[in-house]
Amino acid sequence: MEINAGLVKKLRVKSNAGMMDCKKALLESKGDLDKAEKILREKGLAVASKKASRAAKEGLIESYIHPGSRIGVLVEVNCETDFVAKNEMFKSFVHDIALQIAASAPLYISSDDIPGEVIEKEKEIYKNQALNEGKPEKIVDKIAEGKIKKFYEENVLLEQLFVKDNDIKIRDLLVQNIAKIGENMVIRRFTRYILGEES
């Protein structure tokens, strides 16, 4: 059996074990990564990975706690170099993103992140709403499309209006900063807590 070099590399990163040990474990597990990691640990050749956590990108982790400490946000924004991560303009951009999330409670970063069934369910509700309001059937689809657009503007971070400048969307703020700083940036993930909310 041929063991793929990429798989060996993955196992090395996960296990911190040597290359030959990883190869042998993968042969034994017939290419099953989890099983191979288990084999290495059982042989004492690897330690338990607490969590795969190797830094792959540069950037910043930032938080924002709203006064009163009942709303809090944690956000990661990536850039390409450590140099830019230390740049004041980048720092201020990341801070604005944390503030935006606290204030506007997005559910998703990009509209691509919304599961298809969520959109379908929303569309169906909007259509039936329009029908129940006595709207003619031929314009019901159009009404639903308009409401979906509004759903994006409310729930998708990149489509939200920037709380500090209602003339631009967060997407525009991102693009402006990419242009000014001259490096690609990605709003990677966020977590937003409200005190006592059901999760």
> Where does this chain bind its own copies (CB under 8 A)?
38, 41-44, 48, 50-65, 69-74, 76, 78, 85, 105, 107, 121-122, 125, 128-129, 132-133, 151, 154-155, 189, 191, 193-199
Q: How far is the CB of 8 from its own copies (least distance, A)?
A: 18
Is the CB of 50 or the CB of 179 nearer to its own copies?
Answer: 50
162 touches 106 (CB < 8 A): no
Q: How far is the CB of 9 from its own copies (least distance, A)?
A: 14
DSSP result, 15-37: H---HHHHHHHHHHTTT-HHHHH
Is the CB of 148 or the CB of 178 nearer to its own copies?
Answer: 148
Report the Cα 168 to chain-centroid distance in Å: 22
The span from the CA of 102 to the CA of 190, in Å, is 10
Give every CB contact of residue 56 below 8 A, 6+ residues apart in sequence.
none
Is the CB of 162 or the CB of 190 nearer to its own copies?
Answer: 190
Give every CB contact of residue 162 below 8 A, 6+ residues apart in sequence.
96, 100, 168, 169, 170, 172, 173
Is the CB of 112 or the CB of 133 nearer to its own copies?
Answer: 133
Is the CB of 112 or the CB of 167 nearer to its own copies?
Answer: 112
Q: How far is the CB of 165 from its own copies (least distance, A)?
A: 23
Q: How far is the CB of 71 from its own copies (least distance, A)?
A: 6
The residue whose two tokens read 């709303």 is 71
